């Protein structure tokens, strides 16, 4: 096993924050991590108010306050370091992080996407799945690289597409799976069961995520 030994998680959000809530509520049950801060790039993000109400450390860093992306990312970095963050979870965070930011966090930035990547990256993946006529879709937790929704896969959960589904119905079913999967994937990374060096095409899976959970290790 290599890597791992992380514990303190920074969660980056832009909106609703249901995955943030799932990560928070699962922290005790699943174990292996704690939420050290929540950062939003929008003051109106519902997840930010929710995090404040839980007494979590929060910050709002509006990207439009910065002329350069590098300055926005320097502010993010400052806040993450201030809270001794070791791993970053993107949870509905609608900004692309640059390679120079990510180089400071090799194998330490995770994202969740509501499709079975590499199918349907980008916006409206649930509608993309419906348009393609697939019978299953799902969600993917992956390491973040500079290319959108393209970093090495950590784990995935399959969700059926049912007759009569619209974007709302499929999104809801996939979101339930997201809330189950993201905490388990985060724990696996924190424990070093899954590791990415920041450069290879694939992550090193020392112990599959769901197996780690079953064993409770
Ligand atoms: C989720 O579907 C996530 O997969 C995607 O954005 C959505 C965020 O939802 N990246 P929430 O803010 O966590 O409720």
Q: Which of 13, 17, 18, 26 to mutate to test the pocket of ligand 1 (most atoms within 8 A of CB)?
A: 18
Q: What is the C-alpha separation between 152 and 167, in angstroms, rounded?
A: 26
**For position 28, what pLDDT does the model report?**
84
Is the distance from the beta carbon of residue 149 to the nearest atom of ligand 1 less than 6 Å?
no
Ligand 1 atom with minimal separation from the 90 CA: 10
Structure tokens at 168: 């709302």
**For position 1, what pLDDT does the model report?**
45
Structure tokens at 159: 């969700």
Rounded to 5 degrees, φ, ψ at 24 are -65, -50
Q: Whose CA is nearest to atom 4 of ligand 1?
A: 113
Q: What is the C-alpha separation between 172 and 33, in angstroms, rounded?
A: 26
Q: 93 alpha carbon to ligand 1 midpoint, in Å?
A: 8
Q: 179 alpha carbon to ligand 1 midpoint, in Å?
A: 10
pTM exceeds 0.85, yes or no:
yes
Vertex 33, ends 159 and 215: CA angle to 5°?
Answer: 60
**For position 105, what pLDDT does the model report?**
98
**For position 84, what pLDDT does the model report?**
98
Cβ(36)–Cβ(138) below 8 Å: no
Whether 142 is a known active-site residue: answer no
Cβ(93)–Cβ(13) below 8 Å: yes
**For position 21, what pLDDT does the model report?**
98
**For position 129, what pLDDT does the model report?**
98
Cβ(19)–Cβ(92) below 8 Å: yes
- Could you check whether the bond before residue 118 is cis, i.e. omega within 30 degrees of 0? yes
Q: 114 alpha carbon to ligand 1 midpoint, in Å?
A: 8
Is the distance from the beta carbon of residue 16 to the nearest atom of ligand 1 less than 6 Å?
yes
The list of the chain residues with pLDDT below 70 reads: 1-4, 212-217
Going along 30-132, which residue ranges are E strands?
34-40, 58-60, 87-90, 109-113
Q: Which of 21, 178, 182 to mutate to test the pocket of ligand 1 (most atoms within 8 A of CB)?
A: 178
- Catalytic option among 25, 63, 113, 179: 113
Is the distance from the beta carbon of residue 10 to the nearest atom of ligand 1 less than 6 Å?
no
Q: 12 alpha carbon to ligand 1 midpoint, in Å?
A: 11
């Amino acid at each position: 096993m290599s890597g791992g030994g992380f514990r303190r998680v920074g969660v980056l959000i832009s909106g609703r924050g249901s995955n943030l809530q799932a990560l928070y509520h699962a922290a005790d049950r699943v174990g292996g991590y704690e939420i050290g801060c929540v950062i939003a790039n929008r003051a109106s993000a519902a997840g930010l108010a929710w995090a404040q109400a839980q007494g979590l450390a929060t910050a709002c860093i509006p990207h439009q306050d910065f002329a350069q992306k590098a300055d926005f990312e320097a502010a993010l970095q400052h806040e993450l370091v201030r809270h001794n963050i070791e791993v970053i979870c993107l949870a509905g965070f609608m900004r692309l992080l640059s390679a120079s930011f990510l180089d400071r966090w090799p194998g330490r930035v995770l994202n969740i996407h509501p499709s079975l990547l590499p199918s349907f990256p980008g916006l409206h993946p649930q509608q993309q799945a419906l348009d393609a006529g697939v019978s299953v879709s799902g969600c993917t937790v992956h390491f973040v690289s500079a290319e959108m929704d393209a970093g090495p896969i950590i784990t995935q959960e399959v969700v059926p597409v049912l007759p009569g589904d619209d974007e709302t119905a499929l999104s809801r079913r996939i979101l339930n799976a997201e809330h189950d999967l993201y905490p388990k994937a985060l724990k696996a990374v924190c424990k070093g069961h899954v590791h990415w060096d920041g450069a290879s095409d694939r992550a090193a899976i020392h112990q599959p995520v769901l197996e780690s959970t079953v064993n409770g290790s």
